Amino acid sequence: MMWILAVTWISILLVNTQAQGTASFSRGNDRNRRCQYTFTVDSPTEASCPSTGSSAEMEALKSRLGLLEALVSRLTGGEAPGTEAQMGLRTAYTQVTGERDRLQEEKAILAQQVEQLQRMVEELQREVERLRSRPCTQQPSQNLPIFSSSVQPGTGTSHSHLGSRPGRTQGDTSSLRDPSWPYGSPAYQELKAEVAEFPAPNPNTEDSTGCGELLWVGEPVTHRKADSIAGRYGVWMQDPEAVSPYGSNMVWRIDTVGTEVRQLYGYEDMDQFTRGFPAKVLLLPDAVESTGAAMYRGSLYYQRRRSRTLIRYELGSESVAARRDLPHAGFHGQFPYSWGGYTDIDFAVDENGLWAIYSTNKAKGAIVISQLDPHTLEVKKSWETNIRKTTVANAFMICGKLYTVASYASPNTTVNYSFDTGTSQSEAVAVPFQNRHRYNSMIDYNPTQRKLFAWDNYHMVSYDVRLGKQQ
Ligand SMILES: *[C@@H]1O[C@H](CO)[C@@H](O)[C@H](O)[C@H]1NC(C)=O
Ligand SMILES: *[C@@H]1O[C@H](CO)[C@@H](O)[C@H](O)[C@H]1NC(C)=O
């Protein structure tokens, strides 16, 4: 819920800043109960921050000018009549001098603005000194870092107390008298009301555990569309067997575009996920390779970048609980799914536990399935299939069976192969599957939701599935 406070605070800060046209400050306890002061200064113009880049530019220009001046004086030799080349050079010289003068003017204006800002900062420092002499009452932090581990995970059922935050639950009312404390303002009340109106999340009451073969995959339902290139592909998931402190409604997301992928975003429930407000951002100790991660029993399982190392990152302790190489597994583009993207090692979770889907040199690129001990990441048992990993778009496990999707780009494709770890038999199947956005980079089964989760070209989608009766 803290994100709401953060959003509120930021918007009010902006309003205040505009109204006063100068600056605003705030004070409150941080998470360690230290008194903390924050001030915000309105910049006079948008681009008024003096940048080192512009002075470097000036220097470069000056040295270029110096060279030109030397050249001109050598060419003219101090004599009046000039050739055409000399005339051209003079025009260029005049242009460059004009440019220099313009830059110098800009520099002067910037220097003025810096001075103004310095005066404001001094003023604020005096104000802070004044405030320091008054006692700092217990308040929830005003410097709410949206991306910080101080954000508390919710239970997913706590919508009713969104409106009662903040502060008052701690029996503190003095903060409301402080004019710098924003929560008494109408703007805050408005936001609070809006937040309180969010519908309660649908509890997932379905409790069907019967296993069977995959018969049908529904149409993709979009839950969220990424708004930047960083979200072109990635992995999103819910823990099918969530563990405290996170409830089963928690949604997790990793954008995997880029080379140093380490941010794991947590959303309180599907509703917040759709709205795009993370309640939690965890910084993973090792970078993530691609879209193969999975969430299971309170841990994130993922492949460490450029390695065959599997990592179990425990959400509760926010630390690595297990780290182990997956023996002989190809990695970093050796045996990816057909769309590429370094999808060499793919975790999967189903009714039977935790799996890794990958390949090895020994298997000559055929998909290898290993059941893993979720605690230690040791391989319990492995199966070698007869389908090449690089020819399939993606794969997932349901009830101990591997299923592969034929195409990641075709809007109407099929799940056309299965391998049963119970019997070590493979089978051709033909279950229609839609890649509505034509670039599916991740498909995972969630045994509790009985859905497939997928990431199709910026779109985080899910599919209902229907299973047959156990044979
Ligand atoms: C599945 O579909 C792909 C792509 O159309 C094809 O190459 C492959 O042979 C099919 N596999 C089976 C088992 O039908
Ligand atoms: C894909 O299948 C759906 C329904 O199954 C159909 O409405 C649609 O036209 C098909 N699209 C293409 C490109 O074949």
Residue pLDDT, tens place only, 285-302: 999 999 999 999 999 999
| Range in 77-86, 184-193, 311-320, 381-390 with the lowest mean pLDDT | 184-193
Q: Which residue's CA lies nearest to atom 8 of ligand 2?
A: 412
Nearest ligand 1 atom to the CA of 391 is 7
Q: Strand, coil or helix: what is 156?
A: coil
Which residues neighbour 375 within 8 Å (Cβ) at sequence distance 6 or greater?
312, 322
Q: Which ligand gives the minimal distance to the CA of 429? A: 1
Of 471 and 430, the one with more pLDDT: 430
Rounded mean pLDDT of 55-79?
Answer: 58
Main-chain phi, psi angles of 241, to 5 degrees: -135, 70
Contact 428, 406 (CB under 8 A): no
β-strand pairing of 23-29 with 35-41: antiparallel
- In the structure, which protein residues have their CB atom closer than 6 angstroms to any atom of ligand 2? 411-412
Q: Is pLDDT of 328 > 70?
A: yes
- At 239, is the pLDDT very low, low, confident or very high (cuts 50, 70, 90)? very high
Can you tell me the distance from the alpha carbon of 433 to that of 441, in angstroms, rounded to the nearest whole number? 14
Of 151, 347, 157, 353, the residue nearest 250 (C-alpha): 157
For ligand 1, the distance from its centroid to the CA atom of residue 392, given in whole angstroms, is 8
Of 206, 185, 148, 219, the residue nearest 16 (C-alpha): 185
How long is the chain? 471
For ligand 2, the distance from its centroid to the CA atom of residue 238, given in whole angstroms, is 29
Q: Is 51 exposed, middle or buried (0-12, 13-18, 19+ CB in 10 A)?
A: exposed
Q: Which ligand gives the minimal distance to the CA of 435? A: 2
| Range in 41-50, 235-244, 381-390, 421-430 with the lowest mean pLDDT | 41-50
For ligand 2, the distance from its centroid to the CA atom of residue 270, given in whole angstroms, is 28
Nearest ligand 1 atom to the CA of 426 is 13
DSSP 195-241: HHTSPPPPP----------EEEE---EEEEE-SSGGGSSEEEE--TT
DSSP 121-155: HHHHHHHHHHHHTS-------SS--SSSTTSPPP-
Q: Is pLDDT of 39 > 90?
A: no
Q: Which residue's CA lies nearest to atom 14 of ligand 2?
A: 412
Q: What is the pLDDT of residue 390?
A: 97
For ligand 2, the distance from its centroid to the CA atom of residue 413, given in whole angstroms, is 10
Of 324 and 125, the one with more pLDDT: 324
Can you tell me the distance from the alpha carbon of 2 to that of 15, in angstroms, rounded to the nearest whole number? 20
Contact 383, 419 (CB under 8 A): yes
Q: Is 416 in the pocket of ligand 1 (CB under 6 A)?
A: yes
DSSP state of 332: S
Q: What is the pLDDT of residue 469?
A: 80
Q: Is 417 in the pocket of ligand 1 (CB under 6 A)?
A: yes
Range with the largest mean pLDDT of 77-81, 202-206, 228-232: 228-232
Q: Could you give the percent of the chain with pLDDT greater than 90?
A: 54
Q: Which residue's CA lies nearest to atom 2 of ligand 1?
A: 406
If one residue of 216, 412, 438 were mutated to test the ligand 2 pocket, choosing by the most ligand atoms within 8 A of its CB, it would be 412
**pTM value?**
0.60
- At 223, is the pLDDT very low, low, confident or very high (cuts 50, 70, 90)? very high
Domains, in order of start, for the chain:
2-81 (no CATH), 198-468 (2.115.10)
Q: What is the pLDDT of residue 128?
A: 66
Nearest ligand 1 atom to the CA of 407 is 4
Nearest ligand 2 atom to the CA of 432 is 5
Q: Is 406 in the pocket of ligand 1 (CB under 6 A)?
A: yes
For ligand 2, the distance from its centroid to the CA atom of residue 465, given in whole angstroms, is 18
Q: What is the pLDDT of residue 330?
A: 98
Of 296, 281, 354, 285, the residue nearest 319 (C-alpha): 285
Q: Is 436 exposed, middle or buried (0-12, 13-18, 19+ CB in 10 A)?
A: middle
Main-chain phi, psi angles of 432, to 5 degrees: -60, 140
DSSP 89-129: HHHHHHHHHHHHHHHHHHHHHHHHHHHHHHHHHHHHHHHHH
Nearest ligand 2 atom to the CA of 412 is 1
Contact 224, 461 (CB under 8 A): no
Strand partners, 204: none
Nearest ligand 1 atom to the CA of 417 is 13
Q: Is pLDDT of 68 > 70?
A: no
Sign of CA dihedral 167, 170, 173, 179: negative
